[in-house]
Structure 1
């Protein structure tokens, strides 16, 4: 009877605090870790308390949602207990994770023995940038589209005007294929940025980022702020140092 009460108490705590695994996020333990992680090109794993909650858990849940469409990326959690059966404490010790540092995020890449530690601001956007910076796995920033991000990568990597014009035409062709009205608007933003870069040069990217940040610093509606955040994220696709 006491065990049943204790179990129901844990369920109540988990439900009322949001202390559950992030939706779409794979829970790992000492038995499953080495069976699952090597199957992916990249695996981002959060080491945390057994029943995580709060702002950082919410941000990790957003990351999990963003990564749901990538077959090459595993978003996972390891819940560590320093009491009772000491569940997954061996994994924490194996990767030199300390309880006082929770949550700790590490990126495991196929073919690499040692993981890469995440040390940025704990937001879903910074976690996405971290994944993109260190792997070839695509996970887009909010308001971005993969096919256009791929074109943007090639576009900004070359200074050859003819190559840029060719990539601009490729982006225009992809824009024509889109059926979704919201995605059409996003595609239009990519194309317009590329047109301005062809006209004015690469300096346009930094100038436009400054302009957009200035708009966001003012008094604007939520709809306008969301629009500007999406535009800023697209501009970041044209600046490798920000990914």
Structure 2
């Protein structure tokens, strides 16, 4: 597959020719919410298993089977093979996957860009004193926020930093699992959205593996 050179990162959905349903709606959300993101392209490949079998060769080339539709693959410039998405097919989960594997800065719900940067900085520090300095920076930044929703989000970042200082960096993984389990349980849509926002923030603390 030829990726347009001007895009460093391309998210491709392999699906039926005329897709519909909840998963397609979530994919459309990702496309709409990230259309102004530099170096990032969202594309669809409609695969026919009848007639002229349009794009069937592409699906075969990347090991995509019809039974698995829709399949998301992330193509990164300079890398031969794409990364396959295996998470929950929700817009924020997809964006978190892109963010983690590419470094592209996609805005996730409840996340605050400046606090995302502080979270990354905090996790890179091995020295506790330096981590405490980042925490102090986050608290100071929170004081300058005006919107109540932003203050609540900032509170989550700050609490995460405090917990990591208490329990170590392993807390991030255990908290991710804990919140995911609650989110996947029987709760109201509003609570589910709130927990997804929390997961988005926690994702900012996951160390970049690139």
TM-score exceeds 0.5 = yes
Is residue 142 of structure 2 the alignment partner of residue 175 of structure 1? yes
Q: Which runs of no fewer than 5 residues in structure 2 stay unpaired?
A: none
Query: Larger Cα Rg: Structure 1 or Structure 2?
Result: 1
Matches within 5 A, 1:74-89: 74-89=41-56
Cα offset for 1:78?
Answer: 1.4
Is residue 160 of structure 2 the alignment partner of residue 165 of structure 1? no
C-alpha distance in 2 between matches for 1:49 and 1:218: 30
Across the aligned residues of Structure 1 and Structure 2, the Cα RMSD in angstroms comes to: 3.4
Cα offset for 1:144?
Answer: 1.8
Matches within 5 A, 1:5-154: 34=2, 37-154=4-121
Cα offset for 1:142?
Answer: 3.3
C-alpha distance in 1 between matches for 2:88 and 2:12: 16
The SS at the match of 1:37 is coil
Cα offset for 1:197?
Answer: 3.9
C-alpha distance in 2 between matches for 1:48 and 1:215: 30
Checking the alignment, whether the CA contact within 8 Å between 2:47 and 2:54 is kept in structure 1 is yes
Q: What is the total number of aligned residue pairs between the two structures? A: 208
C-alpha distance in 2 between matches for 1:114 and 1:204: 32
From the superposition, tell whether residues 205 and 93 of structure 1 become closer, same or farther in structure 2 (CA, over 3 Å): closer
CA deviation string 1:40-80 (max 9, x = no partner)? 22111001111101122122123224433421321111122
Higher RCO (CA-CA < 8 Å; seq separation 6+): 2
Checking the alignment, whether the CA contact within 8 Å between 1:48 and 1:78 is kept in structure 2 is yes
Cα offset for 1:149?
Answer: 1.9
Checking the alignment, whether the CA contact within 8 Å between 1:41 and 1:72 is kept in structure 2 is yes
Which residue is 1:25 aligned to? none
Checking the alignment, whether the CA contact within 8 Å between 2:17 and 2:47 is kept in structure 1 is yes
Which residue is 2:198 aligned to? 231
Q: Which runs of no fewer than 5 residues in structure 1 stay unpaired?
A: 1-32
Matches within 5 A, 1:151-230: 151-198=118-165, 200-202=166-168, 205=172, 222-230=189-197
The structure richer in helix per residue is 1
Which residue is 1:11 aligned to? none
TM-score (norm 2): 0.76
CA deviation string 1:88-139 (max 9, x = no partner)? 3443344343434322221110111222222334333432332233211123
Cα offset for 1:220?
Answer: 6.2
